[in-house]
Structure 1
């Protein structure tokens, strides 16, 4: 099995880490290529990657935890928790935000936004870039993927809990399941085993542009390792963090097969991908079979979703 799985990855010019788990057994756990080309550092299971929008799965869990603590209700209006929102957002609920049906525009749709991503700012300042824009559709009527909606949810988490987004996730998710190599990325601190991000260029790669990661809080700002994401998968399977009822709600699709921070696939799996400057990632979980495929690359774009699907096909062959 390991040789077949390894052959799938080797067929691609892949740089990153792959972890395939079935019933807690590691079928493949391996690094490929370099985490840092300039310093000749190879990838390893402890290599830290920016996981991009996989962050949304943790934001959704944080909201579910606060709901179980009685500090918020998923179906309540956003205005109950953030009264300063614009008038045309008043019909938006937390569930709309979680399921990408709020109608709020994706900040990357704004002209010139990508040119400002290296500038120091907060996610609240990022949200301000879209508040004057009309909604794509009335809340609850149309699926429209929006990282901005999850930036808003991070503000709700902070307001309701009285803690920073990072502090709340560490106390209620990372620490309880021993995710010791996961956190909110920031360009200033020295982060051991951090992978550098690259972009394809000609027959090689170049350094990807720097992003000031706090602007993506709640929607794409976390870093993690393959090993920590395997712990995340195990905790979700064990029901360690929330009740079965909340778990089922989190994975119940609304529109376009998107649930609460997760995309539900017809074959009985759930997944989320991540794409941020220099990094492409995917986490694929088969709920009834205890199979998880994690593919993390420090090159963007990279065929991480295709690799994950091919690996899953080998496991189920």
Structure 2
């Protein structure tokens, strides 16, 4: 018999332990409860990585969980280096603001002022500010339906990639809407290289990393032998597998950095001083615009009912093949949570919320097994109809025991598509549409499954519904254009 249920029960018992007595060391008691919470997530396969939690500027917990390298059983530690994904964007924004301070870039300067070869009809409309705030209207290259399948393994020089993948027709008037845009931050990297005369990697090293002593952070390259590098994995319906290869020249200034929890703590601490940016530049960087997005950061006022209500939260997540990450700061309290995970998509927001509850002396919500993991065995043994029935039964009788978030069934559907089980994927995506009828994303996913199954009319209906719910869904628009085009 596996000892895992006993261990998990013991972990949850520690998590549910009462707040520390006066005789206890409060910081140590909080650290034990945070550790127990993260360990509970690890035991059900929802976290595998490294964590750092700081309160009032002091590190409360710094620890690795699970494995950095599964084939050799090498554990994650506080020194393990992880790919950061879009946490990179705050470093790119900082480099831009440093060039603003030095008079080489203006935030209201036009893209064409710095990249004169860029298409002028767009370059004369889009400003640096638009690129920083995801309001440029330039299509994001990662929105393309074929990017990951046809492009992501191939290296590209910066100029060539800009011309081929970051120069599409505007989707909306610059400044009028928010649409998360990796092309915008790729263009910022190209712009930085032009105005500085240095590569993005060199600029990053000389302007930020070396001055701050961030020796475990850098621009990731697949060919580099990098000590303490975590391998990236993704959790399939049958277990873990190696994440698909991605050439790191493509995320570039939008997502190509690696780091450790310790170095991100150094970064957090530096942002309280002026070693990297002046007070005026930091004020600019942390001022939110559309959808609460500032320069490389999401900024919000924490609402009533949550820990730290009324304070400003500055945060950003990241996701890149085999990794997802989160850095969350509360400057008023010098609070910091860093979560770096090397097993693909997982609920880092829920883990961070549980940590916040512990720090506030509240009882955190225990982690829940994902509903996909609960119904997948039924699907493989008894078929999709039985899996759907199992889903409804669990949602009716044990809803509190499972995680029913949108991403869980969506991930399962794509895993089934990857196994060439399009009919099963359709059943799961339809179930997700039933649960989240107002989500443009789930209708888009269902359309993709219908298309793979050769059901063109149903695919078009799903894509049209996705566009109604999310008019900025360029992927749906592009596919509909192809499907509606008259046959040659």
**Fold agreement, TM-score > 0.5:** yes
Residue number in structure 2 paired with 1:51: 84
Residue number in structure 2 paired with 1:113: 147
Residue number in structure 1 paired with 2:65: 32
Larger radius of gyration: 2
Where in structure 2 are the equivalents of 1:152-191 lying within 5 Å? 152-191=187-226
Residue number in structure 1 paired with 2:37: 8
* Residue ranges of structure 2 left out of the alignment (5+ in a row): 1-29, 303-311, 362-488
Q: Give per-residue Cα distances to partners, 1:60-110, cap 9 Å, x unaligned.
A: 000011111111111211111111111223211101100111111111111
Matched, 1:308 2:352: yes
Matched, 1:72 2:105: yes
TM-align CA RMSD: 1.3
Residue number in structure 2 paired with 1:23: 56
Matched, 1:230 2:274: no
Matched, 1:294 2:327: no
Residue number in structure 1 paired with 2:131: 97
* CA distance in structure 2 between the aligned counterparts of 1:97 and 1:132, rounded to whole angstroms: 13
* CA distance in structure 2 between the aligned counterparts of 1:131 and 1:19, rounded to whole angstroms: 35
Relative to 1, partners in 2 of residues 1:202 and 1:252: Cα closer, same or farther, differing over 3 Å? same
Q: Give per-residue Cα distances to partners, 1:178-231, cap 9 Å, x unaligned.
A: 000111111111000100000001352100011100111110000111111111
Relative to 1, partners in 2 of residues 1:11 and 1:203: Cα closer, same or farther, differing over 3 Å? farther
* CA distance in structure 1 between the aligned counterparts of 2:73 and 2:189, rounded to whole angstroms: 37
Q: Give per-residue Cα distances to partners, 1:250-308, cap 9 Å, x unaligned.
A: 01011000001110122111111100000000000112110010000001112122212
Relative to 1, partners in 2 of residues 1:308 and 1:122: Cα closer, same or farther, differing over 3 Å? farther
* CA distance in structure 2 between the aligned counterparts of 1:313 and 1:76, rounded to whole angstroms: 43
* CA distance in structure 1 between the aligned counterparts of 2:273 and 2:53, rounded to whole angstroms: 18
Task: Tell me the CA shift for residue 27 of structure 1.
Answer: 1.0
* Residue ranges of structure 1 left out of the alignment (5+ in a row): none
Matched, 1:254 2:283: no
Aligned with 2:171: secondary structure?
A: coil
- Contact in 1 for aligned 2:138/2:167 (Cα 8 Å): no
- Contact in 2 for aligned 1:107/1:129 (Cα 8 Å): no
* CA distance in structure 2 between the aligned counterparts of 1:132 and 1:261, rounded to whole angstroms: 21
Where in structure 2 are the equivalents of 1:199-278 lying within 5 Å? 199-202=234-237, 204-267=239-302, 268-278=312-322
- Contact in 1 for aligned 2:50/2:339 (Cα 8 Å): yes
* CA distance in structure 2 between the aligned counterparts of 1:204 and 1:111, rounded to whole angstroms: 26
Q: How many residues align?
A: 317
Q: Which of the pair is proportionally richer in strand?
A: 1
* CA distance in structure 1 between the aligned counterparts of 2:167 and 2:183, rounded to whole angstroms: 13
TM-score (norm 2): 0.63
TM-score (norm 1): 0.97
Residue number in structure 2 paired with 1:63: 96
Aligned with 1:152: secondary structure?
A: helix
Aligned with 2:211: secondary structure?
A: coil
Task: Tell me the CA shift for residue 122 of structure 1.
Answer: 3.1
* CA distance in structure 2 between the aligned counterparts of 1:157 and 1:131, rounded to whole angstroms: 16
Relative to 1, partners in 2 of residues 1:132 and 1:19: Cα closer, same or farther, differing over 3 Å? closer
